[in-house]
Amino acid sequence: MKKTKEDRDTRIQEYLSQWTEEEVSQFQADFLAWYDQHQRDLPWRRRQDPYAIWVSEIMLQQTQVKTVIPYFNRFMSWFEEVSDLAEAPEEKLLKAWEGLGYYSRVRNMQVAAKQIMTEFSGEMPTDIKDIQSLKGIGPYTSGAIASIAFNQPEPAVDGNVMRVFSRLFKITEDISKPATRHVFEGVVRQVISQKDPSSFNQAIMDLGASICTPTKPVCEACPLSAYCEAFKEGNMTDYPVKLGKVKTIPEYYIALVLIDENGKMCLTRRKKHGLLGNFWTFPLVSVSKEIYQEMQQQWVSEPKTYLEKEQGQLSFLNVAETTTLFEEQLEQLGIEGQFKPWPIGEVTHVFSHRKWHLLMAQGTMLSNQVLDVEEETQWVHPKEFSTYAFPKPQQKMLEVLTKNKIISNG
DNA sequence: AAGACGGGGCC
DNA sequence: GGCCCAGTCTT
Domains by residue range for chain A, with CATH:
5-238 (1.10.340.30), 249-403 (3.90.79.10)
Question: Does nucleic acid strand C have an atom less than 7 angstroms from the CB of A101?
Answer: no
Per-residue model confidence as pLDDT tens digits over A57-67: 999 998 999 99
Q: Mean pLDDT check: name the lowest of A251-255, A260-264, A300-304.
A: A300-304
* Amino acid at the residue A73: N
Q: Which H or E element spans position A73?
A: helix A65-78
Number of H helices, E strands in chain A: 18, 9
Euclidean distance between the first and the last CA atom of chain A, given in angstroms as a whole number: 57
* Helix, strand, coil abundance in chain A, percent, nearest 5: 50, 15, 40
Residue A375: per-residue pLDDT:
86
Separation between Cα atoms, residue A298 and residue A313, nearest integer Å: 19
Separation between Cα atoms, residue A218 and residue A295, nearest integer Å: 48
Cβ within 7 Å of nucleic strand B, residues: A 62-64, 66-67, 99-104, 177-179, 215-216, 273-277, 349-353, 391-393
* Percent of the residues in chain A that have a pLDDT greater than 90, as a whole number: 66
Catalytic residue among A21, A57, A290, A384: A57
Separation between Cα atoms, residue A210 and residue A64, nearest integer Å: 12
Residue A408: per-residue pLDDT:
82
Per-residue model confidence as pLDDT tens digits over A25-36: 999 999 999 999
Q: Which H or E element spans position A183?
A: helix A180-191
pLDDT higher than 60, residue A1: no
Write out the DSSP string of A292-338. Answer: HHHHHIIIIISHHHHEEEETTEEEESSHHHHHGGGHHHHHHHT-TTT
Is A57 catalytic? The answer is: yes
Q: Which nucleotides of C are covered by protein (CB under 7 A)?
A: 1, 3-9
- Under DSSP, is residue A248 helix (H, G, I), strand (E, B) or coil? coil
Write out the DSSP string of A372-395. Answer: --SS-EEEE-GGGGGGS---HHHH
CA of A244 to C1' of B3 (A): 13
Confidence of residue A306 (pLDDT cuts 50, 70, 90): very low
Query: Residue A105: which nucleotide is closest by CA–C1'?
Result: C8
